[in-house]
């Protein structure tokens, strides 16, 4: 564990950018979270000419969607894929999506922490390292109320860091499929056609089925209803203060 933390520290320290007035860092537990729940907020931050960074914490290799993908591959006469190939394909979907959102590739950090076992201490270390990007960093995480443990642990980690005054600024986002189940402090809606087009392009990165190019529509296969909701809502919802 100590070796892993040290490795992450080295990786993230090497990603330091020139200090600016404000840097916004978005933490995506798995590929597709950065679009489904955080996408509108990322687009809005970029439209405000802010320095936006995105951190992928896990490649999502524990997803059971691999079974559906392999069943379809077999049915179409294609070779099946391994867990590692599945993770690599999810990473490629993520890269395509963040590019569509407008995030610079140099501002993207991709990690491969254990899917389903994200650890609060590890997440805290990552947040602390990213806080060094600027004198003012706003950290965007999933809410500590999120029913998914890999999501809520990001909110818990930021909660603890704010309480300890190790970092100062944060927003806690609700997953798109839970928008109607939690009260929120604010929302970011995409109203212009240009912004909505960018959001749609990012979502579509998870819908492409082309085995010859290594695209397996993993996001859509995994949570199809969430993609429908995201397309209809075009918004991110968040709260400012950690919950008790």
> Which pLDDT score is estimated for 10?
37
Residue 6 maps to a domain: no
Number of domains in the chain: 1
CATH number for 143 = 3.40.50.10320
Centre a 10 Å sphere on the Cβ of residue 17 and count the other Cβ atoms it contains: 14
Residue 142 maps to a domain: yes
DSSP structural state of residue 107: G
18-27, 55-64, 109-118: the lowest-pLDDT one: 18-27
Whole-angstrom distance, CA of residue 43 vs CA of residue 234: 11
Residue 14 maps to a domain: no
Residue 141 maps to a domain: yes
Per the structure, the complete domain to which residue 65 belongs is given by 27-239
State the alpha helices, DSSP H only, in the chain.
Answer: 2-13, 33-36, 39-47, 65-75, 83-101, 120-130, 149-163, 193-204, 218-222, 224-233
How do residues 89-128 score in pLDDT, each as one tens digit? 999 999 999 999 999 999 999 999 999 999 999 999 999 9
Residue 72 maps to a domain: yes
CA count, 13 A, side-chain hemisphere, 130: 33
Question: Which among 42, 41, 54, 181 is positioned nearest to 110, based on CA atoms?
Answer: 54
Residue 43 maps to a domain: yes
pLDDT at 213 over 60: yes
Tell me how many degrees the CA angle 48-49-50 measures, rounded to the nearest 5: 90
Residue 95 maps to a domain: yes
When pLDDT is averaged across residues 209-218 and rounded to a whole number, the result is: 97
> Which pLDDT score is estimated for 104?
96
> Which pLDDT score is estimated for 48?
85
Residue 77 maps to a domain: yes
Residue 240: strand, helix, or coil:
coil
Rounded to a whole number of angstroms, the CA Rg of the chain reads: 17
């Amino acid at each position: 564990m100590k070796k892993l933390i040290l490795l992450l520290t080295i990786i993230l320290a090497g990603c330091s950018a020139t200090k600016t007035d404000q840097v916004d860092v978005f933490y995506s537990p798995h590929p597709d979270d950065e679009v489904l729940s955080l996408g509108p907020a990322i687009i809005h931050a970029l439209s405000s000419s802010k320095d936006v960074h995105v951190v992928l914490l896990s490649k999502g290799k524990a997803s059971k969607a691999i079974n559906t993908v392999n069943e379809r591959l077999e049915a179409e006469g294609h070779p099946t894929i391994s867990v590692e190939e599945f993770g690599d394909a999810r990473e490629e979907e993520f890269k395509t999506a963040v590019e569509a959102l407008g995030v610079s590739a140099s501002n993207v950090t991709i990690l491969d922490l254990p899917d389903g076992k994200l650890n609060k201490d590890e997440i805290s270390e990552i947040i602390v390292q990213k806080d060094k990007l600027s004198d003012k960093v706003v950290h965007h995480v999933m809410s500590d109320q999120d029913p998914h443990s890999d999501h809520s642990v990001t909110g818990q980690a930021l909660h603890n860091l704010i309480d300890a005054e190790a970092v100062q600024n944060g927003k806690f986002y609700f997953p798109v499929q839970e928008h109607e189940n939690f009260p929120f402090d604010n929302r970011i809606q995409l109203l212009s056609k240009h912004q909505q087009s960018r959001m749609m392009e990012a979502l579509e990165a998870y819908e492409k089925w082309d085995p010859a190019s290594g695209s397996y529509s993993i996001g859509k296969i995994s949570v199809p209803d969430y993609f429908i909701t995201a397309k209809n809502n075009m918004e991110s919802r968040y709260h400012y203060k950690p919950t008790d």
